[in-house]
């Protein structure tokens, strides 16, 4: 299987002489999920922004397969004056890809269970619904690479588990290459084929932990002993 996302010797500095990442190597095969974990401030979100093309490496290369890249941030970041459908439409407007836009918007909202909320404003939405809109806004671009920056961290426990289940189902049905940044070792084990533990100053990949758990996965796996074993290994690596 071809590699969809490759970091090869990537270094990054926000300011000259202040390295954040050094000689970082990672590979995420097409259609698989990688999780990035590490201590706060180690550069996890920086790696995600490099993968998205929002930042450029100081040295080394970041390679992705052809196709759209979509980013889901920790907060929904919806425009409050635009309806749900209009928020989902935004990346198509910015890319000048309005041909068939309504069908793509309807499909994206249907996939996240918000077909009936298209005309609502963000102020009328719950936190879970707002994150679903953010996810639909990513899916409307029909991405090959989905980048998730702690998208569940601001939700209550019940909504978090519900949305985790839905994102797992979407990833598996669409076959998206996915990178998830999280502080939650259980979440990393639940989602990933492989977990990259970032460490050091400047940061690189300290440990790679494969997750040999069966697919498809649901949040019910969080109650299984096999996942607990993976989580303990991740805690030890941290």
State the pLDDT at residue 40.
86
Q: Residue 74: which of 21, 130, 117 has the closest Cα?
A: 130
Q: What is the CA radius of gyration of the chain?
A: 18
State the pLDDT at residue 4.
85
State the pLDDT at residue 97.
82
What residue segments make up the domains of the chain, in order of their start?
3-67+144-237, 82-142
* pLDDT tens per residue, range 87-135: 999 999 998 888 889 999 999 999 999 999 999 999 999 999 999 999 9
Query: Taking 80 as the threshold, does the pLDDT of residue 233 lie above it?
Result: yes
Mean pLDDT computed over every residue of the chain: 92
Q: Would you call 58 helix, strand, or coil by DSSP? A: coil
Do the beta carbons of residue 90 and residue 82 sit within 8 Å?
Answer: yes
β-partners of residue 15 are 18
Alpha-carbon dihedral 127, 132, 134, 140, rounded to 10 degrees: -170
* pLDDT tens per residue, range 163-212: 999 999 999 899 899 999 999 999 999 999 999 999 988 989 999 999 99
Of 77 and 2, the structure prediction assigns the larger pLDDT to: 77
* Domain boundaries 3-67+144-237, CATH class: alpha beta
State the pLDDT at residue 153.
87
Distances, alpha carbon 207 to alpha carbons 45, 130, 177, in Å:
18, 34, 21
Query: Taking 80 as the threshold, does the pLDDT of residue 1 lie above it?
Result: no
pTM: 0.93
Give CA–CA dist 40/46, Å, rounded. Answer: 12
Mean of the pLDDT values across residues 227-233? 93
Mean of the pLDDT values across residues 126-154? 93
């Amino acid at each position: 299987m071809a590699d969809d996302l490759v970091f090869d010797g990537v270094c990054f500095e926000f300011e000259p002489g202040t390295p954040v990442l050094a000689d970082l190597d990672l590979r995420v095969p097409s259609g698989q999920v990688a999780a990035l974990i590490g201590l706060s401030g180690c550069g996890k979100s920086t790696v995600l922004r490099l993968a998205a093309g929002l930042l450029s490496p100081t040295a080394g290369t970041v390679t992705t397969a052809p196709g759209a890249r979509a980013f889901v941030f920790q907060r929904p970041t919806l425009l409050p004056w635009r309806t749900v459908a209009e928020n989902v439409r935004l990346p198509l407007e910015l890319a000048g890809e309005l041909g068939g836009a309504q069908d793509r918007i309807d499909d994206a909202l249907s996939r996240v269970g918000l077909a009936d909320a298209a005309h609502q404003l963000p102020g009328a939405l719950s936190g879970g619904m707002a994150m679903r809109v953010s996810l639909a806004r990513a899916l409307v671009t029909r991405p090959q690479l989905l980048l998730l920056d702690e998208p569940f961290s601001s939700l209550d426990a019940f909504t978090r588990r519900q949305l985790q289940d839905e994102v797992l189902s979407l990833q598996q049905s669409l076959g998206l290459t996915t990178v998830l940044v999280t502080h939650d070792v259980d979440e990393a084990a639940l989602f990933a084929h492989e977990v990259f533990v970032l460490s050091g100053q400047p940061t690189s990949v300290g440990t790679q932990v494969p997750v040999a758990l069966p697919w498809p996965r649901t949040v019910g796996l969080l109650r299984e002993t096999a996942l607990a074993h993976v989580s303990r290994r991740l805690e030890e690596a941290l």
